[in-house]
Every structure is written in structure tokens, then in C-alpha cells.
Amino acid sequence: MLELRSRDDVTEIRMAHGKASALDLELCDALTRAVTDAAPRARALVLTGTGRIFSAGVDLPRLLREGPEYQRRFLGALSRAIVTLFECERPVVAAVNGHAIAGGCILAAACDWRLMVEAGATIGVPELAVGVPFPVAALEVVRCAVGEAVAARLIVSHANLPPAAAAACGLVHALVPPAELESAAFAEARRLAAIPSASFALAKRALRAPASERIRATRSLDDDVTSAWQSPEVHRAIAGYVDATLGKSRPPRSEGS
């Protein structure tokens, strides 16, 4: 599910959950635990995926199959994972090795520095194309990563971007040849780890305070988000999206947020 390894005081967390590292209750809980446990011991973290996929987003077929109680628990676990990553006081580098769709994109956006392979992958937030609303934490992370105007454009257009377009709008910071991604991510993690930890943590906390405050102040909206995800209308939209994308090789059929 998650593969962890440490080198030079940097801990790599690699998502390796099925073919697409689709986000489900167990993966979200595991990611929250991994970040929480690794942060006190590591100087920096690297988050990456496996093969040609970083994460394809929410496991939508399972979401439909499991019913309302699973949906409620999953959305809570997803928000906790996003916030835990976003508010981790250690530097976190995303090594986007392949497709990062919706929830996968949001996990990357929660990181401090984002590297992406220069070809053969897409990244974006197509939640509205699926027909689902954003949990509050997910929306705020995107807004913090790219700013209000770009976030609105990404969300409303619901496009998945190729690497060059993602770099141009600030969704990722740099593009790297696939063979060099791992070493580049560790180099960036070591660069950030060289900053005195208290100084980095205070700067990060200040930069992200407005988003964190909005997440806490508007958390009650997540009750409405959960109700929407559980509604027959949204279920029909999700089922239609899954049916339309079933069998396509790019992007994988998961998603959500």
C-alpha cells in the first residue's frame, strides 16, 4: 500500500496501492499515519507513486459499491490525509511520476515543492467533470498552491493538464526526465532540509495559515459535501463517468477528489 525508505534523513513515501494508487479509506488512513510517524524522525519527506501513475484519485467504483457509511468515513479520512500532508512542518517534496488526477493532484498540491516528469503524464482537478463537489480541504489546498484565479480556472475548466501547461500555471514547479525524477526529488528535499527546521516550519505555517484557518472555519460545509456525494444525482453522475471511462488507458478510471 505504502512503501517507505529513508536516505540522508529524507523519508520517501511511495504509494503502491493496486494499479493506480486509487484513494480509498485504507490508503488515506495509511498516508495520514505515515506522514505523522515520519515527520518527527525525518528532516524532509518525498511523496511519490509507482510506475506511470502518481495517484488516479478516488476509487469511485468502490465508493458506489460500499454505500453511505463507507462514503462518510472515506471523505473524513481523505480530508485528514490532505490536511496532515498540507500542515506537516517538515519540507515535503512531491515527485509526480505519472498521472495525478483529482485527489492525486490535490495530494501533490499539498506538498511544498512539486516535481513532475516532463512527458507521458497529466495532472488536474476534474471533480466537476465527474459531478462531485470538493471537500473544503481539497479546495483550499488547490487555492493555496496556485492562487485564487488559477484555482478557479482549473476547477471550472476541469481539464487534466500536460506537464508543460502544469508548470506554466504553477501547479508544478519543475519538469524532470523520468529517469532523473527520484534523484531530483531527493536533492530538493535535502536542499529544504538544510534550512533550520524551526525557520522552515514557521515560514510554512505563516504561508499556509489563511488556508488552514478557512479549512477550520468552514469545516461544517463538509457535511453538505458528504450529503452531496451520497445523493442519487451525484451517484448517477459518478456511475456515468465510470462507465464512460471504463477500459480507457489514460487517465485511469478512478477519481473524485
pLDDT in tens, 42-101: 999 999 999 999 999 999 999 999 999 999 999 999 999 999 999 999 999 999 999 999
Q: Are 101 and 160 contacting, i.e. CB atoms less than 8 angstroms apart? A: yes
What was the pLDDT predicted at 252? 44
**Amino acid type, 18:** G
What was the pLDDT predicted at 33? 98
First and final C-alpha spacing in the chain: 19
**Grid cell listed for 89:** 512542518
What tens digit of pLDDT does each residue of 216-234 get?
999 899 999 999 999 999 9
Over the chain, what is the mean pLDDT?
94
Q: What is the domain count for the chain? A: 1
CATH number, domain of 22, equals 3.90.226.10
Dist. CA 122–CA 100, nearest whole Å: 6
Q: Which domain holds residue 212?
A: 2-179+197-245
Indicate whether 253 belongs to any domain: no
Indicate whether 257 belongs to any domain: no
Indicate whether 80 belongs to any domain: yes
**Grid cell listed for 163:** 506537464
Burial annotation 151-171 (CB, 10 A radius, 16+ → b, else e): beebbeeeebbbbeebbebeb
Three-class DSSP category at 133: coil
**Grid cell listed for 83:** 490536511
Active site residue 127: yes
Residue 250 has pLDDT above 70, yes or no: no
How much of the chain, in percent, has pLDDT values that exceed 90?
93
Indicate whether 250 belongs to any domain: no
| Active-site position among 127, 140, 188, 255 | 127
Residue 251 has pLDDT above 60, yes or no: no
Three-class DSSP category at 123: strand
Q: For 100, list phi and psi in degrees, rounded to 5.
A: -130, 90
Strand-pair partners of 100: 55, 123
What tens digit of pLDDT does each residue of 148-160 get?
999 999 999 999 9
Q: Is 68 left (phi over 0), alpha (psi -120 to 50) or beta?
A: alpha
**Grid cell listed for 125:** 482537478
pLDDT band with cut points at 50, 70 and 90 for residue 246: low
**Rg, Å, the chain Cα set:** 17
**Amino acid type, 242:** V
Dist. CA 134–CA 196, nearest whole Å: 35
How much of the chain, in percent, has pLDDT values that exceed 70?
95
Indicate whether 120 belongs to any domain: yes
What tens digit of pLDDT does each residue of 171-211 get?
999 999 999 999 999 999 999 999 999 999 999 999 999 99
Q: Are 6 and 12 contacting, i.e. CB atoms less than 8 angstroms apart? A: yes
Closest CA to 12 of 207, 195, 204, 193: 193
Indicate whether 217 belongs to any domain: yes
Indicate whether 102 belongs to any domain: yes
108 by Cβ neighbours in 10 Å (0-12 / 13-18 / 19+) ranks as buried
Dist. CA 116–CA 122, nearest whole Å: 9
Indicate whether 229 belongs to any domain: yes
What was the pLDDT predicted at 249? 40
